[in-house]
């Protein structure tokens, strides 16, 4: 038997409703099992991102609520701090409340990870997805 700790979390009602729908759709036995599965996926993603090394090129997609206090300014300031690895950005208005930034990056994986982590940590940021590749000509055959 595995040792278990009991925790308590607060979630927005809509987020929990959507999560419950997925739990039912996927046939989980309980919310706890679904949350454990989600945490495992989060840990795997974190370990993968932090294992990257060397020269990389890719995108960082950021969805955020532009009504949150100063989030737009903070995201812009962070991007200016990493101007040496940012090739270009694209700003998209998704709906009345949400925007998406697509940030094209090229440089050392460590700096790309730092940038991704800083963007992710900002209040008002809803989702961040990093996609990276090895620049052309360096892919093993």
From 83, 88, 81, 79, select the one nearest 125 (Cα to Cα).
79
Is the pLDDT at 139 greater than 60? The verdict is no
pLDDT digits (tens, 9 = 90+) for 34-91: 998 888 888 877 777 777 788 889 999 999 999 998 999 999 999 999 999 999 999 9
pLDDT of residue 140: 44
Q: In the predicted model, what is the mean pLDDT of the chain?
A: 90
pLDDT over 90 for what percent of the chain?
A: 68
pLDDT of residue 110: 92
pLDDT of residue 136: 66
pLDDT of residue 137: 52
Give the Cβ contact number of residue 75 at 10 Å.
23
Tokens representing 71 are 């989030």
pLDDT of residue 141: 42
The average pLDDT across 120-136 equals: 90
The average pLDDT across 96-125 equals: 95
The model's pTM: 0.72
Is the pLDDT at 118 greater than 90? The verdict is yes
Strand partners, 133: 57
80 is in an annotated binding site: yes
46 is in an annotated binding site: no
Return the HEC string of the chain. Answer: CCCCCCCCCCCCHHHHHHHHHHHHHHCCCCHHHHHHHHHHHHHHHHHHHHHCCCEEEEEEEEEEECCCCCHHHHHHHHHHHCCCCEEEEEEEECCCCEEEEEEEEEEEHHHHHHHHHHHHCCCCEEEEEEEEECCCCCCCC
The average pLDDT across 22-28 equals: 91
96 is in an annotated binding site: no
93 is in an annotated binding site: yes
């Amino acid at each position: 038997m595995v040792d278990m700790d009991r925790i308590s979390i607060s979630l927005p009602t809509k987020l929990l409703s959507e999560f419950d729908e997925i739990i039912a759709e996927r046939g989980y036995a309980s919310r706890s099992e679904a949350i454990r599965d989600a945490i495992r996926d989060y840990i795997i993603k974190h370990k993968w991102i932090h294992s990257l090394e060397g020269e990389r090129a890719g995108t960082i997609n950021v969805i955020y609520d532009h009504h949150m206090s100063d989030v737009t300014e903070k995201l812009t300031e962070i991007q200016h701090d990493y101007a040496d690895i940012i090739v270009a950005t694209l700003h998209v208005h998704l709906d009345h409340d949400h925007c998406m930034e697509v940030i094209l990056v090229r440089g050392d994986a460590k700096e790309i990870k730092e940038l991704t982590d800083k963007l992710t940590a900002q209040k008002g940021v809803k989702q961040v997805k990093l996609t990276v590749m090895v620049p052309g000509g360096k892919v093993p055959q």
